[in-house]
A and B are shown apart, each in its own frame.
Chain A
Amino acid sequence: MQHSVAINEPENTGYFGDYGGMFVPELLVPALEQLESAFESALVDEKFNKQLNETLANYAGRPTPLYECQNMVSDNACRLFLKREDLLHGGAHKTNQVLAQVLLAKRMGKTRIIAETGAGQHGVATALACALHKLPCTVYMGAKDCARQQPNVYRMELMGAKVIPVNNGSGTLKDAVNEAMRDWSSSYKDTHYLLGTAAGPHPFPTLVREFQRVIGREARAQILEQLGRLPDTVLACVGGGSNAIGMFTDFLDDKKVELIGVEPAGLGLDTGQHGATLNKGHLGILHGAYSKIMQDSHGQIEESYSVSAGLDYPAVGPEHVFLQAAGRARYFTVTDTEALAAFHALAKNEGIIPALESAHALAYALKIAEQRDGDSVLLVNLSGRGDKDLDYVRSLHTQNNIAQVDEEGY
């Protein structure tokens, strides 16, 4: 039921083509406009950039390496490079933009931080940044996600954050965002809502992109240095879309570089149990933006599903909808099973345990790798590491072993 009404008011900022905007209660508009102007002034403020870059280098560990896989693809197949955001402090790319937003919060005189988290990676990044800057921090996390990402809950608590499990709705990321927005609507005067992805109301999609594009900027320079040429294809997983937009942005003008986003197909695109918003969603408004959303025939938001909590989100950043509509990026899907296979393959063959989110991007790269020749170069954003997923993957294994034993009649 796609409709073609352009919602964009021409004089409004915060749109990517027809998509985006600031669809929040009037009450929150001043807080978002304050953030917009703090962000714009910070971007051109030498002192702010110096402080951010120093923290990214000395505290977070930038630049992250660009690594060429030795064993993942067969000898005659193409070359596969990984941008190692998994090695960033905190365990995922999330730290990049969180360190920037905390500085913005202080610039605006805010004294408390709230955030939502899905897999817990954004929560961990927010907690560490708040510990560093001595800001009290409250993280909303779906109750279901708390259960499947226990180690990250404990990490946040170790760093002094208060984690509030959200039982409403599906108990996942969408509900955590709802709760964070409700908190913010009474606390905006002294509290910054540190949104974790390139989605939500303006200015977040732009702000998060600008502070994540360091991923693509570095990767582009590194591959030019290592190979003397650009990659043929750049891949990243897409939940809300921050690691993908961070990876894509500096390649947008390189028209010959193919950009591929990989969404979670969960149990399969036809099962209804997935999080493939760009592939299966319809235009609508959720969490402040006009974008693609998973919704039923009446406009009620549907629950998404993915083995990876970080991709389990029924909306997506509006700029991805724009890039898809413009044909500049294409978005494909990978099932739970394929992602898990890639997870194991990278661990076995390269000694790198990826986050289940990033394993989606890798799985799609492995799919196309077999069709490419030896000159072809694939670049995957390995956005996070898999420590947080160990218990979960191990429990799947135990379940599988038991099932197998049952089938074999022991």
Chain B
Amino acid sequence: MSRYQKIFDCCKQQKRIAFIPFVMLGDPNLDLSLKIISQLIESGADALELGIPFSDPVADGPVIQASAGRALQNGVTPESALGLIKSVREINSDIPIGLLVYANLVVHNSIEAFYGQCKKAGVDSVLIADVPIRETLIFDQAAQKHDIAQVHILPPDASNKVLNKVAELSNGYTYILGRAGVTGVHSNPQIPSGNIIEQLAINNSAPPVLGFGVSKPEHVKQAKESGFSGVICGSAIVAIVEKHQSDANELMNQLKIFLSMMKEFAQ
């Protein structure tokens, strides 16, 4: 049974949804990033969504752009980012780890090599922000070969054709976009109607997880009520990292407070 299956089963038994924080690997630097990720695990993250910093993140708003910028400024590379995941795995071998990347970093050496390195580092899933279903075959094949779950995104107002395809292809979990646009807390997610959750269930999709704009406890509550299996919360957490990056103790404290507040509403 995969790490994702275990955690989603466990959440289901406990009648709660999974809380999945996102941070950028190496933000603001490799050392502090490892502490941040350890704190997230300690504070009750059910799974992790981690980004590899990329110079041109077109799907991200200002907060996550700046986060990638800090990591790159400090010399973080895809290799050192994956190295950081290895260190996380030494601390915790159970938590599902998802990667969020841009296509150029995946194809740069070879697609095969990238997935091989991910597997070696202890990654469970890969989501490529700029590879839609129509271009995904070669990536899905490499993922499958290396036993990595390829995650796909279901955008708002998707046609039935896209929904069926996403349900069929997404592994580990299914990423449901809460709204159009780029990542960020500038506008609230619109919780999709229960219809979509039902349709995904009919198509035997991987557990639906809500992302984009999830920043407040009420979003978590709404996601649970609508039948989601989890939420991904990125920009709100990255903003805490940005604000307290020069005071590690305060940063850990703030992350702890934020996670416990959000998790309360996941119950």
Contacts and interface: CB of A to CB of B under 8 A. Distances in A.
B201 interface: no
A29 B154 CA distance: 11
Interface string B144-185: 000000001111101100100010000000000101111000
B56 A169 contact: yes
Interface string B133-146: 11101100000000
A1 to B, nearest CB: 6
Given A185-B180, A186-B180, A300-B55, A25 B108 contact: no
A299 B133 contact: no
A24 B180 CA distance: 13
Interface string B214-252: 000000000000000000000000000000000000000
A251 interface: no
A188 B182 CA distance: 12
Interface string A276-308: 000000011111101001010011110000000
Given A1-B109, A186-B180, A299-B104, A9 B130 contact: no
A168 interface: yes
Contact of B107 (A3, A26, A169, A181): A3
A181 B180 CA distance: 12
A207 to B, nearest CB: 17
Given A5-B111, A284-B107, A299-B104, A26 B55 contact: no
Nearest to B66: A168
A181 B61 CA distance: 11
A60 B186 CA distance: 42
A189 B108 CA distance: 33
Nearest to B102: A285
B34 interface: no
Given A178-B56, A298-B77, A26 B152 contact: yes
Contacts of A30: 155, 159, 162
A7 B135 contact: yes
A121 to B, nearest CB: 23
B261 interface: no
A27 interface: yes
A5 B135 contact: no
Contact of B54 (A24, A287, A300): A300
A69 B153 CA distance: 56
Contacts of A7: 107, 135, 138
Contact of A23 (B105, B130, B166, B179): B130
A174 interface: yes
B205 interface: no
A26 B56 contact: no
B198 interface: no
Interface string B67-90: 000001000011100000000000
A22 interface: yes
A12 interface: yes
A246 interface: no
Contacts of B154: 26
Nearest to B77: A298
B58 interface: yes
A182 B182 contact: yes
Interface residues of A, number: 39
Contacts of B110: 3, 5
Contact of B109 (A3, A9, A12): A3
Nearest to B59: A25
B33 interface: no
A288 B77 contact: no
A286 B129 CA distance: 12
Nearest to A179: B58
Interface in B87-137: 102-105, 107-112, 129-135, 137
Contacts of A216: none
B107 A290 contact: yes
A295 B104 contact: yes
B166 to A, nearest CB: 8
A25 B134 contact: no
Contacts of A386: none
Contacts of B129: 25
Contacts of A298: 77-79, 105, 108
Contacts of A28: 132
Interface string A1-26: 10101010100100000000111111
Nearest to B105: A299
Contact of B180 (A29, A168, A188): A188
Contacts of A27: 153, 155-156, 177, 180
A113 B133 CA distance: 27
B188 to A, nearest CB: 13
Given A5-B107, A182-B182, A300-B55, A288 B134 contact: no
B55 A169 contact: yes
B180 A23 contact: no
| Nearest 6 CB-CB pairings of A with B | A186-B181, A299-B108, A285-B103, A27-B155, A300-B55, A26-B132
Interface of B: 54-56, 58-59, 61, 65, 72, 77-79, 102-105, 107-112, 129-135, 137-138, 152-156, 158-159, 162, 166, 177, 179-182
Given A186-B181, A299-B105, 4 more contacts: A1-B109, A182-B61, A286-B56, A299-B104
27 contacts: A3-B109, A3-B110, A9-B135, A12-B134, A21-B135, A25-B153, A26-B132, A26-B177, A29-B132, A29-B133, A29-B134, A30-B162, A169-B56, A174-B56, A178-B58, A181-B58, A182-B61, A185-B181, A186-B179, A186-B182, A286-B104, A288-B130, A295-B104, A295-B108, A298-B78, A301-B55, A301-B56
Interface of A: 1, 3, 5, 7, 9, 12, 21-30, 168-169, 174, 178, 181-182, 185-186, 188-189, 283-288, 290, 293, 295, 298-301
